[in-house]
Amino acid sequence: MNEFGDERKRKLETLLEPAAEETLARIALETEPIVLGITFWNCFRPWRVPERRICDNFFYMTVSGEEQVEVAGERRIFRRGDAMIVPEFVPHAFGLADGCDASSHFIAHALADNVAGENPFGCFATPFLHPAHTDAVLERLTRIVALRNHSPEAAQRLMRHLFLELMEEEAAAGRFRFAERRRSDERITRALAYIRENFSGNIGVADIAAAVHLGEVQLRKLFRREMGMGPAAYLQRARLIHAARLLARYDLPLGEVARRSGFSGECYFATLFRSVFARTPGQYRRYIRGR
């Protein structure tokens, strides 16, 4: 009993499992997604996006109609409130479901802040989710897209907060978890640090292998075991993500973007960028900034 009456402070210390507590803390303190764009679409038959792999993380949420989506070979029928978060380079496709003539949905693209660290968009137990408060999420997405007409930066910031809330919701339910912090082979940890510090320079697999005192064949074997891709693919990923960041934030000439991202020439950079992002660097910049 105190001057205000009978009130008792509760710490809720047993509400969350220890693993969920740690994950939520890491989401709040360490996760800084970079939102590249958020758009709303009305689609009519015949509309279908064939299977593709893109170099950013892809968010998709159905508003109306029925849509057939596929991620890494798993198919689902989406209706209002169904969503998916597809990590970079994971194959996916989407379009109108059979018997549906029109639909609408939101789409957002994002990058992980640390190109050499774990991608938080790949930490969901499944790419498919249905937010607990569907109508509230759809209302927020509507406001974000509307705000983008006035201030793309403000819209991107609000979308970043929404991404974090979706991660938190899934983490609290045990459906989002970071991998173990330590890798089984410290040489790969050192290789990642070398890539992070030098990807903008003229380096290749031989340089990475020499930096960690490995032969190229051994590096490729260990790297693929630890990272799920080869060192050359990872280096290219780091460079492309850095280039996408520069395009999103600055009005640099494309040749300068290529140079700062570690590409030897603007033509090669533009060709590779388009093959991954399905847009030229110039088109990508205009898309992100809503121009």
So what's the pLDDT on residue 62? 98
- 50 pLDDT higher than 90: yes
pLDDT bucket at 289, cuts 50 / 70 / 90: low
So what's the pLDDT on residue 250? 82
So what's the pLDDT on residue 21? 84
Higher pLDDT, 107 or 181: 107
Helix ranges restricted to H, the chain: 18-30, 134-148, 152-172, 186-198, 205-211, 216-227, 231-249, 254-260, 266-277, 281-288
- 30 pLDDT higher than 60: yes
Contact 127, 90 (CB under 8 A): yes
So what's the pLDDT on residue 80? 98
- 186 pLDDT higher than 70: yes
pLDDT 10s digits, 164-178: 999 999 999 989 988
Rounded to an integer, the average pLDDT of 82-101 is 94
Instruction: Output the pTM of the full model.
Output: 0.69
3-state helix, strand, coil in the chain (%, to 5): 45, 20, 35
pLDDT bucket at 94, cuts 50 / 70 / 90: very high
- Asked if the peptide bond before residue 46 counts as cis, ω within 30 degrees of 0, the response is yes
- 116 pLDDT higher than 60: no
So what's the pLDDT on residue 28? 86
Rounded to an integer, the average pLDDT of 71-85 is 97
Highest mean pLDDT among 128-132, 183-187, 277-281, 282-286: 128-132
pLDDT bucket at 145, cuts 50 / 70 / 90: very high
Q: Indicate if 186-288 has the same CATH topology as 18-172.
A: no
The class (CATH top level) of 18-172 is: mainly beta
CATH topology of domain 186-288: Arc Repressor Mutant, subunit A (1.10.10)
Higher pLDDT, 151 or 213: 213
- 26 pLDDT higher than 90: no
CB burial of 58-75 (b: ≥16 within 10 Å; e: otherwise) equals: bbbbbbebbbbbebeeee
As a whole number, the mean pLDDT across the chain is 88
- 227 pLDDT higher than 90: no
- 256 pLDDT higher than 70: yes
pLDDT bucket at 263, cuts 50 / 70 / 90: very high
Higher pLDDT, 5 or 117: 5
So what's the pLDDT on residue 182? 53
Residue spans per domain, the chain? 18-172, 186-288
So what's the pLDDT on residue 215? 94
Highest mean pLDDT among 5-9, 110-114, 203-207: 203-207
C-alpha distances (whole Å) from 115 to each of 183, 218, 227, 242, 283 are 16, 23, 13, 8, 23
So what's the pLDDT on residue 183? 56
